[in-house]
Structure 1
Amino acid sequence: MFPFSDEELLQPVLMSIEKVRPMLLRDGGNIEVVKIQNTKVFVRLEGACSGCLSRHLTLKNGVEQTLRRDIHPDIEVVEIL
């Protein structure tokens, strides 16, 4: 069982995403948290990141790994197009 509610995850997720945001901004992109539901963080990549062929790697190796390290190892990131 996951120890946090979706509402309790919002602020920690936003704080954690701020760690990877500068990397995205440098490449002409950004990230928006759309919702959190059942330990899944639904995000939308914006700008140059939205059409990047490497966006899956950015989400899994950058965003998801940061959230798992900072908050909980069972968090999953899902892209909304």
Structure 2
Amino acid sequence: MSVEDRIQEALAGIRDAIQMDGGDVEFVSYDDETKTVYVSLTGSCVGCPASVLTLKMGVERAIKAQVPEVENVEAY
């Protein structure tokens, strides 16, 4: 299974929780050179003060748990 597929799986595992608050997260790209995943937070996540917390403590943690080679997760 590719890195991108495993990232998509990790996002699917947390998507419901994010959608419960009116937001969503979409995979944008993975940079193999920098080991960075780029995602887009949409819906009510846009402009929300807690979106940085969602990105780092939710999205990044979930991705790193399933895809240990990922070093960073950044908003696109």
Fold equivalence (TM over 0.5): yes
Q: Is 1:15 aligned to 2:13, yes or no?
A: no
Instruction: Figure out how many residues of one structure are paired with residues of the other and give that number.
Output: 73
Unaligned runs of 5+ in 2: none
> Which structure's residues are more often helix, by fraction?
1
Q: CA contact under 8 A between 2:37 and 2:72: conserved in structure 1?
A: yes
Secondary structure at the counterpart of residue 49 of structure 1: coil
In the TM superposition, residue 75 of structure 1 has moved relative to its aligned partner by: 2.8
In the TM superposition, residue 69 of structure 1 has moved relative to its aligned partner by: 1.2
Q: Is 1:54 aligned to 2:15, yes or no?
A: no
Unaligned runs of 5+ in 1: 1-7
Q: Is 1:35 aligned to 2:43, yes or no?
A: no
Under a length normalisation based on structure 2, what TM-score does the superposition of the two structures give?
A: 0.88
